[in-house]
Amino acid sequence: MALPNYGLDADLKAKQDAKYDVELENEVAEWIEAITGEGGVKGNFHEGLKNGVLLCKVLNAIKPGTIKKINVGNMAFKQRENISNFVSATQTFGVHNSSVFGPDDLFDAKNLGSVVNCIYALGGAVQTSVPDFDGPKLGVADKSSAKQDIKRSSGVATQTGGLKGTMEKTELDMRKNIGKDAGQGTNPQVDAQGLDADLKAKKDANYDFNAEDEVAEWIDAVTGSSVKGNFAEGLKSGVVLCQLLNKLKQGTIASINESTQPFKQRENISNFLTGAQKLGVRNAQVFNPDDLFDAKSLGSVVACIYALGGASQSSCPDFTGPKLGIADASHAKADEARAVGPATQTGGLHAAMEIALCSYFSPLSLHSIL
């Protein structure tokens, strides 16, 4: 019996089926080729970047000497080292912890959407953090996090707000001793996946609380809600998120469910994601409803709302309320035309990866935490 194909072919199929943002990938690939003077990335994104060499060359072209040594061999661990060096260095350029990816996201094509997002974020950060660079530009200049993240950077984070590495380690350990990892002795029946465990994971993984607070303050200022300090619980029902869109552009959400039934709350979240795309948020920047409802990736929720803050400044000219981030007019029309429902923060691959991982890990229960 033939084994199922979980390699590159399966990944490319998943990308196509999940509305992977090919336009954004091409934009990023063209920027890389323009900066390095080398081809082979556009139309060949994964293979062109897999060894990390071109990524390191991009950083050295922007700021010479950023990557001291680039490994050019074919050994896998050396190529992963190139990717890790690139990811760490992007944070010194001002890329948010919540916008970087894990080496496996690129090397094993686990999450190419997060790779695209990170490089796009780098393009914006560079315009502020490296003023001497006069080469090709990508995206909109971002002044929001350069100093903050340089100080707080402490290693490679992930697209999911820096939680991925620590969450994977915690969940692996939890399969052996749930109680121990939750700080609850040895009783596996204790609510190890509740609020205490989640907050500990966020803290240990350098979850970007500053970004969360900034987003929460904006939501509170626009809607009059009380999300700050109660982020996931305050947004879980999707009501406040839908109210946010209607404040930005009246009538974006036709009907908001006030019910406490989970499927109605998930429907609110899905409606928010669709509405966010209509206001200019890229497919690759939105999250999956479970990322919020089950607290699977609060970092992606923060990143999506931050993207909404920038996109809405161009797509909602009549809104005169508080602003979040920097106006981004680069893609509103393109994504509005292509939006056919909620995609995910991870470039559309999130749902597919969840199916592959569900037999290994149990999701955090937002009912008990957030």
Question: What pLDDT was estimated at residue 21?
Answer: 82
Pick from 181, 130, 157, 138: nearest CA to 33:
138
Residue 114 contacts residue 158 (beta carbons within 8 Å): yes
- Tell me how far the alpha carbon of residue 52 is from its chain's centroid: 20
| pTM passes above 0.95 | no
CATH code for the part of the protein at 208-369: 1.10.418.10
Homologous superfamily of domain range 19-152? Calponin-like domain (1.10.418.10)
Residue 330: name the closest of 134, 138, 98, 133 by CA.
138
**What does the mean pLDDT of the chain come to?**
75
pLDDT of the residue at 257? 93
Residue with tokens 């061999």: 73
pLDDT at 198: 61
Tens of pLDDT, residue by residue over 304-346, are: 998 999 899 989 999 999 998 877 756 544 444 444 445 444 4
pLDDT reported for residue 143: 59
Domain with CATH 1.10.418.10 in the chain: 19-152, 208-369
> In 294-322, which positions are buried (b, 16+ CB within 10 angstroms) versus exposed (e)?
bbbbbbbbbbbbbbbbbbbbbbbeebeee
Instruction: Give 272 or 284, the one with higher predicted confidence.
Output: 272
Q: What angle do CA 260, 262, 263 make, to 5 degrees?
A: 115
Least confident segment among 50-64, 134-148, 349-363? 349-363
161-220 residue pLDDT tens: 444 444 444 333 333 333 333 333 434 343 445 555 665 555 445 568 888 899 999 999
